[in-house]
Amino acid sequence: MSISAIGEPEVFYCKPADDYLPQPGAVLITGITPQEARAKGENEAAFAARIHSLFTVPKTCILGYNNVRFDDEVTRNVFYRNFYDPYAWSWQHDNSRWDLLDVMRACYALRPEGINWPENDDGLPSFRLEHLTKANGIEHSNAHDAMADVYATIAMAKLVKTRQPRLFDSVYSFRSSLYPS
């Protein structure tokens, strides 16, 4: 199994609706202003079509970090609003989805050796991607930038695969039962 980005990296934006204002916190975290999204973005139908074509490549596992609880829900809503089956992308054509956040939690609980586990201010393990990458010497200089997060997620997945290969393979093998569509 190869852990890599599919094809050449692409960054594209969805033009926000004229009657919608994003949450200020989201703008602060991502650094993407409504003006930038409007200038660089395409309409939602074209945006949904591009994502759908990428997500429906046969035998693809969509890997993300906290994607099952956030990104996948947004994706389903966008697909539904644009007349795509909101669930089919994650199971048709032998496709699947996988959340590395859950892999990291399992690794910490079951096989923590070989990975540095940072702590938050309360002395508890931090599973924030930017904390894990820093603790493990992985480049992630622009946290919450989509492309930077993609490469950081791939690097963390490779780290777990290298340091805990049996756990990685086991969790990967039952990913479809963890996240039924």
- Work out the pLDDT band at 28, boundaries 50, 70, 90: very high
| 94-152: pLDDT as tens digits | 999 999 999 999 999 999 999 999 999 999 999 999 999 999 999 998 888 889 999 99
Query: Residue 3 has what pLDDT?
Result: 85
pLDDT computed for residue 181 by the predictor: 58
In the structure encoding, which two tokens stand for residue 86, read together?
Answer: 């909101």
Question: What is the C-alpha to C-alpha distance for residues 89 and 45, in angstroms, rounded to an integer?
Answer: 16
| Within-domain flag for 147 | yes
Q: What Rg, from alpha-carbon coordinates, does the chain have? A: 17
> Is residue 9 included in any domain, yes or no?
no
The pLDDT assigned to 175 comes to 86
| Residue 67 structural domain | 43-178
Is residue 32 in some structural domain? no
Statement: the pTM of the whole predicted model exceeds 0.75: yes
Q: For residue 9, what pLDDT is reported? A: 85
Residue 4 lies in a domain: no
Specify the 3-state DSSP secondary structure of 118: coil
3-state secondary structure of 136: coil
Query: Of the given ranges (44-53, 68-77, 167-176), which has the lowest mean pLDDT?
Result: 167-176
Does residue 8 or residue 129 have the better pLDDT?
Answer: 129
How confident is the model over 54-73, as pLDDT tens digits? 999 999 999 999 999 999 99
Percent of the chain with pLDDT over 70: 97
User: Mean pLDDT of all residues in the chain?
Assistant: 93
Strand partners, 61: 96
CATH of the domain at 62: 3.30.420.10
CA nearest 35: which of 61, 16, 10, 11? 16
Question: Does 138 reside within a domain?
Answer: yes
Count of the separate structural domains present in the chain: 1
